[in-house]
């Protein structure tokens, strides 16, 4: 998709379609929508007065041009109430319109920049939001159908009459990097388990490293054994596909000792192990590497944007299956940290593989940690599909990650990690157990990981609810969402 700047008003642009905006507060069209309305002999006005166009958020009305303007279609797009409109809502509204436009075969699209957004926000941020809206909303998941004919948008014109070219270019560049990193994560999380095995995930990481000039190290079984990474080794034993520990690094601030460690759960398929999951919806567990996908997407963007900071990414990748050598409930594992873990539930495998990765990130010099994981069904019970669970052992670091998420337009909500919860992860026969039954399941996961971060600040993001969307919704086409990618990029840009 190519982005172009036009100084022409949209009413005179010759594209397949143009997007203009309307809000709930106004009885008549404003700005660019008004010019188009005039050219269309007030047809938009009459739909507004008949109540067919209300301007509510997510509403998209497709009109023809009746031969009055050069563009063939007009998409009147609702932004909701003006005092509630923010960059997140703008992104979602643009995404709905772009997806509809693409579905009807539009290849060349023109977009207006809502005047009151430019007055309220930094112009680069507004342009970034529009670009993200189009590129995220029109994303189409990879298909294995043999007769697929993709309808793809080719050119998008952004109509800006006053802003300098440099502002346009900065907004386009950032929007594209953020959106394409998210779409890369979506692609990875959507791939079937038989295609995206741990070694294939490692190959994908290698491609990103080569493209962006990042260092990469990939541990195969022998090196995992040499290092005593018995958590990752144990979980992977039920599968014929061997595990990998994937390590990417970017040193953009050699003068600084601060290192951001990003850890992503890379379980390429989670059957639950011997305590097997029910059959229904088990297919969705191909996405149990969405945390790894988020970290890889973010590293792709970091490699491109080259912020002044140091970042290492660690991805424990494996499958959790039921083969004859599978780990058992009751087993005790000695993790890389030296801490022993009693396996209470083979389906609580994520925290076991993350434990080794967190300890290794510390060993490599990470001074602040964030892990991203589809860790618990319990977080979905607590927060649904809209919000990721955030847990931390350090309020200041937690605040920083929340700030990055807010700027990125992603939702996180903190769950507590009070000392009293520590009892939930204590075992009678080992240092820790990986599960303690039902209460506060998401917090149990966080408390377990906290034991491996020790005194290094850790934020744990449980994205089990946000990693995938059950329907087309704003910037999220149905399926893998790329949750947390944009938060991690923002975090890296602010780090150092
Ligand atoms: N991968 C799952 C968590 C999950 C659930 C991700 C729903 C996405 C959607 C994880 O490995 C798991 O199975 N967790 C168990 C933990 C329990 C056994 C303590 C769970 O949540 O039931
Ligand atoms: Zn599991
Ligand atoms: Zn899992």
Question: Ligand 1 pocket: which of 189, 287, 347 to mutate (most atoms <8 Å of CB)?
Answer: 347
Centre a 10 Å sphere on the Cβ of residue 69 and count the other Cβ atoms it contains.
20
pLDDT number for residue 116: 84
- Judged by DSSP in three states, 342 sits in strand
pLDDT digit string (tens) for 429-467?
A: 999 999 989 899 999 999 999 999 999 999 999 999 999
CATH match of 187-495 with 1.20.120.790: no
Average pLDDT rounded to a whole number, residues 19-29: 93
Query: pLDDT band for position 115 (50/70/90)?
Result: confident
* Dihedrals phi, psi of 60, to nearest 5 degrees: -130, 120
Binding residues: 265, 270, 288, 347, 349
Nearest ligand for residue 441 CA: 1
Same CATH topology for 2-163 and 187-495: the answer is no
Average pLDDT rounded to a whole number, residues 71-87: 96
Query: pLDDT band for position 172 (50/70/90)?
Result: very high
pLDDT number for residue 259: 98
What beta strand segments (E) does 164-238 contain? 215-219
Atom of ligand 1 nearest to the CA of 275: 18
* Ligand 1 centroid from CA 348, angstroms: 6
Atom of ligand 1 nearest to the CA of 270: 1
Nearest ligand for residue 385 CA: 1
* Ligand 1 centroid from CA 341, angstroms: 18
Of the candidate CATH numbers 3.40.50.300, 3.30.379.10, 3.40.220.10, 3.20.20.150, the domain formed by 2-163 belongs to: 3.40.220.10
- Distance between CA 96 and CA 6 in Å, rounded? 22
Nearest ligand for residue 345 CA: 1
- Computed over every residue of the chain, the mean pLDDT equals 97
Binding residues for Mn(2+): 265, 270, 288, 347, 349
* Dihedrals phi, psi of 134, to nearest 5 degrees: -65, -50
Q: In the annotation, is 277 catalytic? A: yes
Nearest CA to ligand 1 atom 8: 464
Average pLDDT rounded to a whole number, residues 470-478: 98
* Ligand 1 centroid from CA 375, angstroms: 5
- Distance between CA 292 and CA 259 in Å, rounded? 19
pLDDT at 51 over 80: yes
Average pLDDT rounded to a whole number, residues 248-259: 98
Query: pLDDT band for position 94 (50/70/90)?
Result: very high
Nearest CA to ligand 1 atom 3: 376
* Dihedrals phi, psi of 468, to nearest 5 degrees: -145, 150
- Ligand 1 pocket, CB under 6 A: 270, 288, 345, 347-350, 374-378, 435, 441, 464
- Distance between CA 5 and CA 329 in Å, rounded? 60
Question: Ligand 1 pocket: which of 329, 341, 375, 434 to mutate (most atoms <8 Å of CB)?
Answer: 375
* Ligand 3 centroid from CA 292, angstroms: 12
Give percent of the chain with pLDDT exceeding 90. 95
pLDDT number for residue 147: 86
* List 277, 339, 411, 494, catalytic entry: 277
Nearest CA to ligand 1 atom 17: 348
* Ligand 3 centroid from CA 374, angstroms: 6
* List 100, 351, 433, 450, catalytic entry: 351
Nearest partner of 479 among 299, 293, 337, 339, judged by Cα? 293
pLDDT number for residue 148: 78
Q: In the annotation, is 351 catalytic? A: yes
* Ligand 3 centroid from CA 167, angstroms: 43
Residue with tokens 């337009």: 409
Is the overall model pTM greater than 0.95, yes or no? yes
- What residues does each domain of the chain span? 2-163, 187-495
Average pLDDT rounded to a whole number, residues 279-303: 98
């Amino acid at each position: 998709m190519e982005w172009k700047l036009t100084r022409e008003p949209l009413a005179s642009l010759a594209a397949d379609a143009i997007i203009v905006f309307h809000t709930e507060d106004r009885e008549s069209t404003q700005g660019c929508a008004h010019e188009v309305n005039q050219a269309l002999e007030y047809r938009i006005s009459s739909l507004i007065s008949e109540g067919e166009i209300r301007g509510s958020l997510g509403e998209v009305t497709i009109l023809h041009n009746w031969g009055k303007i050069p563009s063939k279609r007009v998409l009147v797009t609702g932004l909701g109430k003006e005092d509630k409109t923010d960059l997140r809502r703008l992104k979602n509204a643009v995404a709905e319109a772009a997806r509809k436009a693409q579905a009807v075969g539009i290849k060349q699209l023109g977009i207006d920049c809502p005047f009151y957004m430019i007055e309220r926000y930094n112009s680069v941020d507004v342009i970034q939001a529009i670009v993200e809206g189009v590129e995220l909303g029109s994303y189409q998941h990879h298909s294995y159908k043999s007769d697929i004919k993709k309808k793809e948008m080719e050119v998008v014109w952004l109509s800006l009459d006053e802003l300098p070219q440099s502002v346009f270019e900065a907004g386009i560049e950032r929007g594209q990097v953020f959106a394409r990193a998210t779409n890369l994560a979506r692609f990875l999380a959507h791939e079937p388990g038989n295609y995206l095995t741990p070694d294939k995930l490692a190959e994908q990481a290698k491609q990103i490293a080569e493209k962006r000039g990042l260092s990469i190290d990939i541990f195969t079984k022998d090196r995992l054994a040499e290092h005593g990474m018995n958590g990752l080794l144990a979980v992977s034993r039920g599968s014929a596909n061997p595990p990998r520990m994937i390590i990417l690094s970017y040193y953009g601030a050699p003068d600084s000792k601060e290192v951001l460690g990003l850890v992503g759960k890379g379980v390429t398929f989670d059957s639950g192990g011997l305590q097997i999951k029910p059959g229904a919806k088990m297919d969705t567990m191909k996405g149990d590497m969405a945390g790894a996908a988020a970290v890889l997407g973010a590293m792709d963007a970091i490699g491109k944007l080259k912020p002044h900071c140091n970042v290492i990414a660690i991805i424990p990748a494996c499958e959790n299956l039921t083969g004859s050598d599978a780990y058992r409930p009751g087993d005790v594992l000695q993790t890389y940290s030296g801490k022993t873990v009693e396996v209470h539930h083979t389906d609580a495998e994520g925290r076991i593989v993350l434990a080794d990765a967190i300890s290794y990130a510390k060993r490599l010099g990470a001074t602040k940690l964030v892990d991203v994981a589809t860790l618990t069904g319990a977080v979905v019970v607590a927060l649904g599909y809209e919000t990721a669970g955030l847990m931390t052992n350090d309020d200041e670091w937690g605040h920083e990650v929340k700030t990055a998420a807010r700027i990125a337009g992603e939702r996180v909500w903190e769950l507590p990690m009070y000392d009293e919860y520590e009892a939930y992860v204590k075992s009678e026969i080992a240092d820790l157990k990986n599960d303690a039954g039902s209460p506060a399941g998401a917090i149990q996961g966080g408390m377990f990981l906290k034991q491996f971060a020790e005194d290094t600040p850790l934020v744990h993001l449980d994205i089990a609810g946000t990693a995938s969307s059950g329907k087309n919704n704003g910037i999220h086409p149905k399926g893998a969402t790329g949750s947390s990618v944009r938060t991690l990029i923002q975090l890296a840009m602010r780090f150092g």
